[in-house]
Amino acid sequence: MTDKYAVIGNPIGHTKSPMIHGSFAKDTGQDIDYVAIEGSLEHFADDVHAFRKAGGLGMNVTAPFKLQAFALATERLERAELAGATNALKFEGDRIIADNFDGVGLTNDIQRNLGFALKGARMLVLGAGGAVRGALLPFLAQQPELLVLANRTESKASDLATQLGAHGRVHSCSYGDLARERFDIVINGTSASLKAELPPVPAVALRNAKLAYELAYGKGLTPFLRLAHNAGVPKLADGVGMLVEQAAEAFVWWRGVRPDTRAVIDRMTIPLV
């Protein structure tokens, strides 16, 4: 019997998840049906319950429903708790179990696919939204020398740094303070690139970076990546690898088998420069 999975979001027409999970299923011999569902902005919970009642076993969750999915869950794993949001649900009887694979997907992409070790690295993360929150605990588990959070609303970054202080060396600062620091890896987790805008990061903050990573994907050379390129950063990357790697983590969670991600990433990657 074919097992049912889905991704839910609004809008959802742009999603690559059915293609990604379809490739995973074909490569691993899994009999699944994976569809995209455009969820109702007013009745998200009803859409989830309807999918469960129709035999659905799990869902990926994308914007704008990650907070609603977190609230709907009956059980939340640690990464979801820290992020305050979920991007994956598993249904077991009456249980709705939530996890968040954004951070582990990003960590896997940076280390496994791009070859940059986080252990001992000096990291700068721009933004303090849901995607960033989900990434921080997996980052700190790799023991970077320093992780700095910068955000337009500095209090949000400061609150996150305080919350995570027991897990590693985490600082927060304003964008204006970044010129005094040196970083190996700079990650743009703001929404600026979705509007073709540049976050207010000074170019000097990128002067020693070896990797500039844009969480948005499929946008080409975004203003942030262009700034990094002009600052001489030798490696630029967007969020395609993160997208595929977080999907692989959900696939393992649901199916108990790990797919190979390289071919899917290669198929989806577009040149940045």
- The neighbour count for residue 67, using CB atoms within 10 Å, is 16
Give kind and range of the element (H or E) at residue 150. Answer: strand 146-150
Q: What is the assigned CATH class of domain 103-238?
A: alpha beta
Higher pLDDT, 131 or 151: 151
Instruction: Give, in degrees to the nearest 5, the angle at Cα 256 between 253 and 260.
Output: 90
Round to whole Å and give the CA distance between 35 and 21: 10
Q: Which two tokens stand for residue 31?
A: 């009999």
The band of 106, judged by pLDDT with boundaries at 50, 70 and 90, is very high
- Residue of 239, 246, 251 lying closest to 87 (CA atoms): 246
pLDDT computed for residue 191 by the predictor: 86
| Enzyme catalytic residues | 66
Share of the chain above pLDDT 70, in %: 100
Helical H segments across the chain, by residue range: 17-28, 44-53, 66-72, 78-83, 102-108, 130-141, 154-164, 223-230, 240-255, 262-268
Tell me phi and psi for residue 22, to 5 degrees.
Answer: -65, -40
- Region 3-100+241-268: CATH code: 3.40.50.10860
Round to whole Å and give the CA distance between 121 and 6: 37
Q: Is 196 helix (H, G, I), strand (E, B) or coil?
A: coil
Domain with CATH 3.40.50.720 in the chain: 103-238
User: Residues 6, 60: contact at Cβ < 8 Å?
Assistant: yes
Domain with CATH 3.40.50.10860 in the chain: 3-100+241-268
pLDDT (tens digit per residue) in 211-229: 999 998 888 999 999 999 9
pLDDT computed for residue 113 by the predictor: 96
Q: Beta 211-214 vs 185-188: how paired, if at all?
A: parallel
Q: Which two tokens stand for residue 213?
A: 């990573």
Round to whole Å and give the CA distance between 22 and 30: 9
Share of the chain above pLDDT 90, in %: 78
Round to whole Å and give the CA distance between 201 and 215: 15
